[in-house]
Amino acid sequence: MSIYVDASSRVLVQGITGREGAFHTGHMVKSGTNVVAGVTPGKGGQALEGDLAGVPMFNTVRDAVKATGADVSCIFVPAKFAADAVLEAADAGIAVIVTITEGVPVHDMIRVTNSVRSRGITMIGPNCPGMITPGGAKVGIIPANICTPGPVGVVSRSGTLTYEVLHALTSRGIGQTTAVGIGGDPVQGTKFVDVLARFQADPATELIVMIGEIGGTDEEAAAAFVAANVTKPVVGFIAGQTAPPGKTMGHAGAIISGGKGTAAEKIRALQAAGIAVARHPDEIAEIVAGQLGR
Amino acid sequence: MDLFEYQAKRLFGAHGIPVKLGEVARTPDEARAAAERIGCPVVVKAQVLTGGRGKAGGVKLAATPDEAAEKARAILGLDIKGHTVKLVLVDPAVDIATEIYVAITLDRAARRALIMASAEGGMDIEQVAVEKPDAIVRVHIDPAVGLQPYQLRQLAFGIGLPAAHHAAFADLVTRLHNVFEAADATLAEVNPLILTTTGEMLALDGKVTVDASALYRQSALAADRYDGDLTDAERAARDAGLNYVDLDGSIGCLVNGAGLAMASMDVIKLFGGEPANFLDIGGGAQADKVEKALRIILADTRVKAVLINIFGGITRGDEVARGIVAALGNIATDVPFVVRIVGTNAEAAQTILADAKLHSGATLAEAAQKAVQLAAERGAA
């Protein structure tokens, strides 16, 4: 089992002809993902080449959904077009929208996340690596070769830090149900609590790894949610213990402002909820192995 | 991106919010001339991108132009929480009867704009939030329908504002919301919003933060961007397209990805070291970018060791390795490097780095420990 996407997902890519879009869609296809359509306005009907050969192209998401039954979209369009792309996918009936694009204005995301969530649509991102259900589907840019099917659900605000953890788990022979990167922006389509609820409900997920970072209060909300609703073991990590206040640490959302959003506060909240918090990334896989009795 | 008070009030004024904006001065003479034009008494206010100016002696009343020059001399050059005062604002003095707080901010958890108002104006709002949470009235704005009249009434009645001022207050908050929207702001704060002794409502001080991701469509604000608070290294890094933050430690860090970069710093600290910087080279960095990054790190004489931690995904290990070799060939340095490259093309990276004199670590913990040890051997505190 898995959450959000699996081998039956019919994936569409918006911005498939861009440099990033073409490169990563190629990897999605190579890892066995069912990529059924590409959308680039003005390039409908064009033939794609290489790894993307045979993927039909459309001018609009509506046309693509009508012709292919796509139900998941992966968005690689430039930041200034990202809000429009998400709304187009939502309007066309896409159920799961994954936005990889970084640098999307936060006001755009206030409008878009409120709109799509009110319609019951799942939106992941923006500024995220997407997600992967090993052996099922990869929607985004998480390298498939560091993942393997198994019992651990992973949710994270980070990209490469997640890859570290996936690699360490896989190296120990511990596989994953699904790994979800929810992104490093201040306003995200999906938060920790949404993903935790899915993992709790997924019978195949035995343990959950949650990787947070400084900024905002989503980790605190997640800790409260875990205490009240999650019966599965959760292993946590918070990045940014050495980050100075008032400085944006790469991710737009990773900033301690007004004394709020520190790593220490978040670690305290996780521990108070009974979550085992790793001191460094390598320790996450060690704790998981111990808890799973490996 | 934070705006100075004078920039925030200029923006407020452009949106019809009542302000009494004076003139900006860079020298005591300019402050005197400004005071002469404006008419005394005036208030001389430090323009720095941090709070707590008043307590730090950065706001002073002047009764004459000469006194304005004297106050400006005292304020210019002051260090306020690490920010050097290079500019003062000379504003006409006003007689304050009442101070109110009003701000619009981004509530990340609610994914909405949040208006906060309080009768406890002039105070640090975070202090009010802790000491008297009920003194702050909050309303969230639904982006589908926008700010509504009933919400303005909730705010006005909630802070106990006399009815005679409700219309002016509603108008001001509506205009502040226009600023928030039009400027892609994540904060638009008026503190204090005052009633003068003659009953006039004025935005006496303003703070605006503009979303850095929206600067492409905020060209006027972007053109006014102040980077005087950046260090030379931070400026060089920005020009090279690198995410970099200066810190005080002795171990330089070069990492791909913001989360991994923060985690690498944390591991250094866990093993008793101090990171000299945060540096995320981003995804897919080429060799020349890696070399530029190493130049910036090595220009910092406090750096006693460098930790390079790369998890290749889009970023290719061999490209990073080539950048390291180029840097070692072009920069004279005896600072030891600890290099850990995992993921895409990591084996090719090992081949490229085989002849370089580098230290390595199989895991991040091992590599960080090694860097801490090397830095300590070279006299890092």
Per-residue b or e along B116-151, where b marks 16 or more CB atoms closer than 10 Å to that residue's CB:
bbbbbbbbbbeebeeeeeebbbebebebeeebeeeb
For B212, the closest chain A residue by CA position comes to: A105
Sign of the torsion angle spanned by Cα atoms A49, A51, A53, A55: negative
Per-residue model confidence (pLDDT) at position B357: 86
For strands B79-80 and B136-141, give the pairing.
Answer: unpaired
Fold matches, A11-124 and A147-292: yes
Taking CB atoms and an 8 Å cutoff, what residues of chain A touch B256?
160
Of B184, B213, B267, the CB nearest to A79: B213
Q: Which of residues 137-196 of A touch B (CB under 8 A)?
A: 141-143, 146, 156-164, 167, 184, 186-187
Residue written as token pair 């050097």? B84
Biggest CA pair distance of chain B: 80
Q: Is B73 exposed, middle or buried (0-12, 13-18, 19+ CB in 10 A)?
A: middle
Supply B179's token pair.
């600023």
pLDDT bin (cut points 50, 70, 90) of residue B379 is confident
Contacts 24+ apart (CB under 8 A), B63-67: B64/B35, B64/B40, B65/B32, B65/B33, B65/B35, B65/B36, B65/B40, B66/B32, B67/B40
Q: Record the tokens describing residue B92, joined without a space.
A: 């006409």
Beta-carbon separation of B313 and A252 below 8 A? no
Tokens for B1, please give them: 């991106």
DSSP states along A71-105: -EEEE---HHHHHHHHHHHHHTT-SEEEE--S---
Asked if residue B303 has pLDDT above 70, the reply is yes
Nearest to A103 by CA among B315, B30, B217, B51: B217
- Closest of B262, B314, B327 to residue B285, by C-alpha: B314
Residue given tokens 């089992």 in the structure block = A1
Tokens of residue A269, six digits: 């909240």
CA B340 to chain A, closest CA, distance in angstroms equals 12
Q: A88: buried, middle or exposed (CB in 10 Å: 19+, 13-18, 0-12)?
A: buried
**pLDDT for the residue numbered B313:** 80
What is the token pair recorded at A207? 């343990």
CA dist A157 and A185 (Å) reads: 8
Using a CB–CB cutoff of 8 Å, tell me whether B344 touches chain A. Answer: yes
Search chain A and give the residue with CA nearest B217: A80
Q: What is the pLDDT of residue B132?
A: 84
Predicted local confidence at residue A256, as pLDDT: 86
Give the pLDDT band (50/70/90) at residue B381. low
Q: What is the mean pLDDT of each run of 10 residues along chain A (294 residues)?
A: 93 94 94 97 95 96 98 97 98 98 97 97 97 96 95 96 95 97 96 98 98 96 98 97 90 85 95 96 96 89
ipTM score: 0.94
- Find out if CATH 3.10.290.10 is the number for domain A147-292: no
Average pLDDT over residues B51-66: 92
Average pLDDT, chain B: 93
Q: Is A87's Cβ below 8 Å from some Cβ in B?
A: no
DSSP secondary structure letter of residue A244: P
B residues 161-220 closer than 8 Å to A (CB): 181, 184, 186, 211-214, 216-217
The per-residue pLDDT for range B212-223, each reduced to its tens digit, is 999 999 999 999
CA angle A28/A34/A37 to nearest 5° reads 90
On whether the CB atoms of residues A55 and A37 are closer than 8 A, the answer is yes
- Interhelix angle B364-377/A281-292, rounded to 10 degrees, is 140
3-state secondary structure of A20: helix
* pLDDT band, residue B121 (cuts 50/70/90): confident
Of B30, B189, B291, B319, the catalytic one is B189
pLDDT tens per residue across span B177-189: 999 999 999 999 9
Q: What would the pLDDT profile of B8-46 be if each residue is shown by its tens digit? A: 999 999 999 999 999 999 999 999 999 999 999 999 999
CB < 8 Å from A in window 93-112 of B? 106, 108-109, 111-112
Residue A260: what are its φ and ψ, rounded to 5°? -105, 150
Contact A36, A69 (CB under 8 A): yes
Is the pLDDT reported for residue B123 higher than 80? Answer: no
pLDDT tens for B318-375 read 999 999 999 999 998 999 999 999 988 889 999 999 888 899 988 999 999 999 999 9
Length of chain A: 294
**Backbone phi and psi for residue B50, each to the nearest 5 degrees, phi listed first:** -155, 165
E strands within B34-165? 42-46, 59-62, 79-80, 83-84, 88-92, 96-107, 112-118, 136-141
Task: Domains for chain B: give ranges and CATH numbers.
Answer: 21-92 (3.30.1490.20), 96-223 (3.30.470.20), 232-377 (3.40.50.261)
For residue A250, what is the nearest residue in chain B, using CA coordinates? B258
CA A249 – CA A226 distance, rounded (Å): 27
**Among B211, B245, B258, beta carbon nearest to A107:** B211
Point out which residues pair with B139 in neighbouring strands: B115
Domain assignments of chain A as residue spans, ordered by start: 11-124, 147-292
Catalytic residue of the set B5, B101, B120, B291: B101
Residues from chain B that touch A282, judged by Cβ atoms under 8 A, are 363-365
Q: Which of B21, B97, B90, B26 is nearest to B62 (CA)?
A: B90
d(C-alpha B179, C-alpha B353), whole Å: 53
Domain at A11-124, CATH from 3.40.50.720, 3.60.15.10, 3.90.1150.10, 3.20.20.70? 3.40.50.720
Q: Respond yes or no: is residue B101 known to be catalytic.
A: yes
